[in-house]
Amino acid sequence: MCTYITEKIAIEGSAKGASGWIKVTDGSIYLDHPVHAPFGHTLNIDFLAPALGPSGRVAVELSQDSARALVKAIQAVLDAAPAGLD
Amino acid sequence: MSDALHAETIKITSGNGDQIEAYSARSLDETPRGGVVVIHHLPGYDSQTKEIARTFAANGYNAVVPNLYWRQAPGASPDDAAATARAQGGIPDEQLVSDVAGAADYLKGLANSNGKVGTIGYCSGGRQSFLAAVSLPIDAAVDCYGAFVTGTLPEGFPLKVTTLVDRTPNLSCPLLGLFGNEDAHPSPAEVDELEAALQANGKAYEFHRYDNAGHAFFSVNRPAYRPEAANDGWERIFAFYGKHLAS
């Protein structure tokens, strides 16, 4: 099914896509049909630069297991980082 | 019957007057024939959907795929356009009906049209094929595993749609439904609900339900593809349109 389950967040940072690096300001995280990954449904993340229009997007499609592993890895790296870094 | 066809990207006029992009695949045979509006799935106006249109043209129909995301993302690649549309909660039902009306008018205006037009849609497009058929004068509608024609929308569902079963009395044409028994939306119970509504309203319909198939079993480029169900489904589609879109 087309779930449309989406979380949207504001983000600060950059992402590299087909046209090079772009400043991204928004993120969409959703579980739905992938375009390319070989699964029925994937955890998809769009890093977005809305000012650039629909092509201002860097996308990833991850299996649900991969996405859960990514969440743990990100949390572990952030927790291990010394306090006070900019 | 000639299998010669011409396929190209064109502009069509939506029912509300907007110019939108569409992909046309037309039979070059001059004998009058029916047309099919192909309604793309959530992942968008993609190469696989265009291939479906060419398949109809190679089998003697005129077909057109309106780019349902043209307004939200004109000129964008299909995946970027789909991401933009989904971030906005999908497209409004009114827009869909308007675009299918425009696509149907385009088909009826072709020199080799016999004046009959069918719709077919997959996934979200399955629901939209039913939506078009309860909103417009259509000659034959095909619903391929469209979710939320019946059933209950999950709490907090971000897509601004409603179920359509209450509009069954307005169904303007025979309905062919193709469903996978392993699908969660529409589940077999939700298909039962639609079948009961069609029966209660005296509507002509034909349902085929496939074991060992779930959602998106027609999608040749996805792991959900089930060739046995898809091959039988294509035969059912051509038999259905052959009956209801013939001159």
Provide the pLDDT for residue B144: 98
Residue A53 lies in a domain: yes
On whether any CB of chain A is under 8 Å from the CB of B99, the answer is no
Q: What is the pLDDT of residues A68-80, one digit of tens each?
A: 999 999 999 999 9
The verdict on residue A86 lying in a domain is no
Residue type, A81: A
Judged by DSSP in three states, B106 sits in: helix
In a domain, A30, yes or no: yes
B58-73 per-position pLDDT tens digit: 999 999 999 999 999 9
Give DSSP secondary structure letters for A26-74.
Answer: EEEEEEE--SSSSSSSEEEEEEE-GGG-TT-EEEEEE-HHHHHHHHHHH
The CATH superfamily holding the domain B5-244 is: Alpha/Beta hydrolase fold, catalytic domain (3.40.50.1820)
> Domain tally for chain A?
1
Chain B contacts of A32, Cβ < 8 Å?
A: 42, 86
Is A85 a domain residue? no
Residues of chain B with pLDDT below 50 are: none
The answer as to whether A68 is a domain residue is yes
Question: ipTM of the predicted structure?
Answer: 0.81
Give mean pLDDT, residues A60-85: 95
Q: Cα distance from B159 to chain A (closest Cα, Å)?
A: 6
A54 to B41: CB separation less than 8 angstroms, yes or no: no
- Tokens in use for B29? 């045979």
Of residues A6, A33, A53, nearest to B43 (C-beta)? A33
Residues from chain B contacting residue A8 (CB–CB below 8 Å): 87
Per-residue model confidence as pLDDT tens digits over A8-22: 999 999 999 988 999
CB distance B81–A38 less than 8 Å?
no
Residues of B in contact with A35 (CB under 8 A): 43, 46, 78-79, 82
Burial class of residue A86, CB neighbours in 10 A (0-12, 13-18, 19+): exposed
Closest-CA residue of chain A to B71:
A54
If pLDDT is split at 50, 70 and 90, which confidence band does A84 have?
A: confident
Within 8 A of A54 by CB-CB distance, chain B residues are: 72-73, 76-77, 80-81, 83-84
Query: Which of B155, B153, B150 has its CA nearest to residue B177?
Result: B150
Length of chain A: 86
Residue A32 within any structural domain of the chain: yes
- Spell out which residues of chain A touch residue B77, defining contact as CB-CB under 8 Å: 54-55
The whole-angstrom separation of Cα B48 and Cα B8 is 15
pLDDT (0 to 100) of residue B87: 82
pLDDT by residue (tens digit) across B138-149?
Answer: 999 999 999 999
Supply the range of the domain harboring residue A14: 5-80
The shortest CB-CB distance from A57 to any of B78, B83, B89 is to B83
For A34, name the nearest residue in chain B, comparing CA atoms only: B43
pLDDT tier at A2, thresholds 50, 70, 90: low
* pLDDT of A1 strictly over 60: no
